[in-house]
Amino acid sequence: TGLRRRCYSAVSPIRPMLKHFKLLTAVAVVTSVSAACSSAQGGRVTQVTPQPPVTVQPAAPAPAAVPVDPVLDLLARADRHFETGRYELTLGHLARAKVAFNTSLELLLESPHGAQADVRVKEHFNRLVDRIAALELAALATGDGFTEQTAEPASIDELLAISTFDTTAPTAATAEHVQADLQQTAHDIPIPLNERVLRYVELFQGRLREFLASGLQRGAQYLPMIQSVFRAEGLPLDLAYVPLIESAFKPTALSRAKAKGVWQFMSATGRENGLKQDWFIDERSDPAKSTVAAAKYFKTLYRTFDDWHLAMASYNGGPGRMQRAIRRSGRDDFWTLTSTSQFLPRETRDYVPMILAAVIIAKNPTQYGFDVIPTLEAAVETVEVPAAVDLRRVAEWAGRSADEIQQLNPELRRWTTPIRVGTYKLKVPAGTADVVRERIQDAGPNSFNALQWHVVKRGETLSAIAKKLRVNRTDLAEANYLKAASKVTSGQKLLIPRMPSVALLARASVSGAVQTASAEPAATLDSATEVAPAVVHRVKPGETLFALARRYQTTIEQLKRLNRLVGSTLRVGARLVISSPLGSNAQQQ
């Protein structure tokens, strides 16, 4: 037994080595050791059968390379650039979209095959032009730089139509719960425990639960700021929850009566309390500035009525209406004044109990079954930018979407800062201010926006200019800080309230593609050299290069160069790129 152990231990160290030596060598080593061990045991020999050598199969020959169709490869590369442009367009990055669109078309035009020579390239080129044109139209429809930003419906309209709901008398359990809550929670506005308030407490826990929950969630980002302002002004902090009913804390909320913003200021009331409004900005949508205005207005209302319930009701119905109701009724208590429908409309009668019910729940949401996940306030920095800066340029510089920049600056009605000389304090995402400042310093003054201007000629009026340029006369006046009836003088420079018709398609058209692609948008345009849109023209029967050159105010040589035409013969149905008379083209005529 001991000898077997010694023989086994003699063989064991060799086993790991078998993996590292050729098979026959390993067999020989094992056989010799086994023979030695057998002789020591009395001549018994352990037979080891050699394994046949492993036959290595020759590698299969590699398949022959499939020849790549250069045209298909070219079309695929063009499509990749087009998709990049389309993605940049969704972010509002017009300059980046232009570069990508330019590249996609330039690849087809500059290829050895030629857009006019190869049928597949030509058809693909035409499709790309159509798709870019469609994207341009969509971009102009959703935000051309001067289209007013879309507003959201104000919650106050829906809530004040509450009579459409089947409201029932509040339960005893609700009354007991609210009574216990009011005894434990401090309020700086008196809240009576009456049926009118309790009805809305139940309604907010039931059919309007989702509305109140979303408002509480959204309002969490604004409440610290509002409470800070009201505390500094010596106002009740319970008033900070008024926007919960007015707008659900939406800065872009717009009511049917045209009240706007978190605090739902009417235009005249906003101006009276220091909120600027013009064609470019509306500070009613600025949460911070409108909160300061709301504090000022509430102080005025309280000085007038010396009662917070009456002051809140007049915030909704107007102080004049409230004063008339008090005179007619001889009552100066809100609850007795509104016990009948004789003196105030239903909306104003319901307004105060609705807000008080919202305040009760908002101060203790968990006790009323609300699990509020607050929306955090966006971290921002402020940058002073020159006049007339396109927000989409800022978005590109900051590496963010144009929507994000717009949401940080809801007071801007258009995609551009005001055009008046001076700087504008623009909010940008935290960490991007330095980059934006650097890009502003590096960029030329004409690269901040693509604006179209008109120099007034002798005898022209605002009405005539608006009709000639096909823009709304009121927009034309307000965009230039004028009234619709204002007179203009010869040589006066007017901003045309629309993006130039060369907006995206012209900047991303073939005429741009054959030139040097640039990340900068079109320069500021002066209508002293009238700008005609760069278009793609489909040849009709009987048309000639001479006729088209005259029609589009360009030259035959320019048309030939842009379309790589050798002769002067045109094929009916063919697409021709037409160049606008932008400086150099006009000089070639």
Known catalytic residues?
A: 246
Phi-psi region of 248 (alpha: psi -120 to 50; beta: other; left: phi over 0): left
- 399 φ/ψ sector (left φ>0, alpha ψ -120 to 50, else beta): left
List alpha helices for 364-460, DSSP H.
Answer: 391-398, 402-408, 433-442
Distance CA 261, CA 283 (A): 8
Instruction: Output DSSP code: residue 341.
Output: S
CA dihedral 194, 197, 198, 204 (to 10 degrees): 180
Burial 367-388, CB ≥16 within 10 A → b, else e: ebebebeeeeeeebbebebebb
For CA atoms 3, 4, 9, 11, give the dihedral sign.
positive
Q: Please tell me the distance from the alpha carbon of residue 240 to that of residue 229, in angstroms, as a whole number.
A: 9
Which residues in 211-240 are b (16+ Cβ under 10 Å) and which e?
Answer: bbbbbbbbbbebbeebbebbeeeebbbbbb
Are the beta carbons of 129 and 105 closer than 8 angstroms? yes
Distance CA 278, CA 88 (A): 30
What's the alpha-carbon Rg for the chain, to the nearest Å? 38
Q: How many CB atoms lie within 10 A of CB 541?
A: 7
| Neighbouring residues of 534: CB distance < 8 A, sequence distance ≥ 6 | 502, 505, 506, 509, 511, 512, 577, 578, 579, 580
User: Residues 6 or more apart from 440 whose CB is under 8 A from it?
Assistant: 383, 385, 386, 389, 397, 448
Contact yes or no for 361/174 (Cβ under 8 A): no
3-class DSSP assignment, residue 13? helix
In sequence order, which residues have a C-beta less than 8 Å from that of residue 522 and are 6 or more positions away?
450, 500, 502, 503, 506, 507
3-class secondary structure, 482: coil
| Cβ-contact 167, 203 below 8 angstroms | yes
Q: Which of 499, 221, 528 is nearest to 380 (CA)?
A: 221
Burial of residue 187 (CB within 10 Å: 0-12, 13-18, 19+) is: middle
Q: Closest Cα to residue 85, out of 97, 70, 73, 75?
A: 97
Residues 584 and 580: their CA atoms lie apart, in Å, by 10
**Ramachandran region of residue 47, left (φ > 0), alpha (ψ -120 to 50) or beta?**
beta
